[in-house]
Amino acid sequence: MISKMKLVVMFIAVLTLSNLAALADAWSDRITVTVRGEGPDVVLISGLACSGAVWDATAAQLEKNYRLHVVQINGFAGLPAQANAQGVILKPVVEAIDAYIKTNKLQSPRVIGHSLGGTTGMMLALQHPENIDGLMLVDSLPFSGALAGAKNVAEAKPLAAAMRDCMIAQTQDDYARSEKRMLPALVKSPQGLKIVTDWAVASDKSVVARAMFDAMTTDLRPKLARIKTPTTILYPWDSSTGFAQSATDAMYQKNFAALPNKTLARIDGSRHFIMLDQPELFIKQAIKFLKLEDRD
């Protein structure tokens, strides 16, 4: 016969295991994480409408020395939207990454984020600074609404809402055509352009539209001084864009002026997808960022 005390202990154990299982899965309705490699933890966050495979070439170089946690937002590049099917995207994704880091006991990971993934990384550094030992931003601004000419969130919001609503209202064919027209401005590599276009077209356009709205109406510039973690900012420049190098430099320097512990590095011959357009230069910067002895 099982004693009453043993039954109580077994019941508590079952409840504890159930709670742990729920905690372990707290992030998976927002993000999908692929783990590869061995060593110190590094979190790589892909950008808007992108697959985690955007980091494949980078991961192939890093996985011999680091344990990589490749984050893709659910609803992007063919993944089911799950909890991202409605409502805001950016803030819940930040909390999902925080839950993943805590649940899996990652030890002071360094975070590399591209575009929207960089915005996510900055928010993570602000809201959960204990989670990050270093931050690398790959062509990501603290206020992406500035790219549309907005000076603040109030100016960006009507434009962002119009863009969001237009994208959601599009047919899938119209959405695919608009992505194919827009993406050549962001990817120089022909092979890179093909795979990025495939990812965008396979994405849930409602998730893309709402994530874009969140990014355009999030202004982190007033909070940058609170980010104390060492931060590397990579930004692209290519003569085909028509922008002068000096103007490009000035834009990034101005936007990140309040960030105290930063290193800015311009990658020439590249557009928005630096890791695809200039993979060798990108991996050199990533290795430099990850090696503690290279940072003073």
pTM of the model: 0.90
CA 186/CA 31 separation, integer angstroms = 24
Position 25 in a domain: no
Q: At what angle do helices 90-103 and 116-127 cross, to 10 degrees?
A: 60
CA 14/CA 88 separation, integer angstroms = 34
Position 283 in a domain: yes
What's the CATH code of the domain at 205?
3.40.50.1820
Position 18 in a domain: no
Structure token digits, residue 97: 């990454």
Could you list the residue range(s) of the whole structural domain that residue 160 is in?
A: 30-294
pLDDT digits (tens, 9 = 90+) for 224-238: 999 999 999 999 999
CA 179/CA 195 separation, integer angstroms = 12
Average pLDDT rounded to a whole number, residues 66-88? 97
Position 22 in a domain: no
pLDDT computed for residue 11 by the predictor: 37
Position 23 in a domain: no
CA 132/CA 125 separation, integer angstroms = 6
Confidence of residue 27 (pLDDT cuts 50, 70, 90): confident
CA 59/CA 283 separation, integer angstroms = 9
Position 125 in a domain: yes
Number of compact structural domains in the chain: 1
CB-neighbour burial class of residue 181 (10 A; exposed 0-12, middle 13-18, buried 19+)? exposed
Position 199 in a domain: yes
Position 1 in a domain: no
pLDDT digits (tens, 9 = 90+) for 87-129: 999 999 999 999 999 999 998 899 999 999 999 999 999 999 9
